[in-house]
């Protein structure tokens, strides 16, 4: 029994090593494009109903947190289905690694939001920039598991986040300070994935 357990542990370790060295193809370009359009739509909603976000930060947070949850849910469901089709027997390991790569950045963004809302409301103007910077860290962390050119998306989110922080006032609450970075950023991610898929098909 002990030998069987050791063999199963070794098999599991081998599967994890193979998964970590395999490019993840569970993210679908169409889904990523849809989340980019969702961000632009959210910016349009804010521009219509809350052009000056600073006086009513709860509504601002409601718009963008809801958008983030919807986007994450859309990506999560589609990625689960697609990974099971593309990676078959390795799907569980690949999915876990994908979550593992991005989860710290997502958790950091949520905790930063909580702390600023409850303890530093005067600094809430920093949120859009900090969200984008933490998102860029998640993208950079995932790059070792994705096409190398995905680093361009990480650079995009980092630069847009730093730009929002450089505004240093309520202008960072502009709907397009979120809509443009995430709209264009997700479309960039989708484009990179699509190009990589085509190159892989051509090689085959």
DSSP collapsed to 3 states, 5-56: HHHHHHHHHHHHHHHHCCCCCCCCHHHHHHHHHHHHHHHHHHHHHCCCCHHH
Rounded distance, CA 159 to CA 136, Å? Answer: 9
pLDDT band at 14 (very low <50, low <70, confident <90, very high): very low
Token pair 């494009």 in the structure block, residue: 33
Rounded distance, CA 18 to CA 94, Å? Answer: 9
Q: Are 108 and 135 in contact (CB under 8 A)?
A: no
pLDDT of 69-127, one tens digit each?
A: 999 999 999 999 988 887 766 777 778 888 888 999 999 999 999 999 999 999 999 99
Q: Which residue has the higher pLDDT, 182 or 143?
A: 182
pLDDT band at 56 (very low <50, low <70, confident <90, very high): confident
**Among candidates 78, 40, 187, which has minimal Cα distance to 195?**
187
pLDDT for position 176: 93
**Among candidates 203, 199, 187, 198, which has minimal Cα distance to 29?**
187
Mean pLDDT calculated for residue range 45-72: 88
Q: pTM for the complete prediction?
A: 0.87
């Amino acid at each position: 029994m002990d030998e069987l357990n050791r063999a199963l542990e070794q098999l599991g370790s081998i599967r994890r090593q193979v998964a970590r060295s395999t490019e993840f193809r569970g993210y679908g370009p169409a889904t990523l494009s849809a989340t980019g359009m969702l961000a632009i739509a959210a910016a349009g909603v804010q521009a219509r109903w809350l052009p000056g976000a600073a006086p009513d930060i709860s509504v601002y947070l409601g718009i963008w947190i809801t958008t983030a949850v919807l986007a994450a849910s859309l990506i999560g469901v589609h990625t689960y289905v697609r990974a099971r089709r593309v990676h078959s027997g390795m799907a569980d390991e690949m999915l876990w690694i994908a979550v593992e790569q991005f989860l710290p950045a997502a958790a950091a963004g949520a905790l930063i939001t909580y702390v600023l809302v409850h303890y530093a409301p005067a600094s809430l103007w920093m949120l859009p920039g900090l969200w984008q910077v933490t998102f860029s860290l998640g993208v950079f962390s995932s790059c070792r598991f994705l096409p190398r050119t995905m680093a361009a998306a990480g650079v995009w989110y980092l630069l847009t986040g730093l730009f929002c922080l450089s505004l240093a006032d309520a202008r960072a609450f502009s709907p397009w300070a979120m809509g443009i970075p995430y709209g264009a950023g997700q479309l960039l991610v989708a484009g990179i994935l699509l190009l990589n898929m085509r190159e892989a098909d051509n090689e085959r």
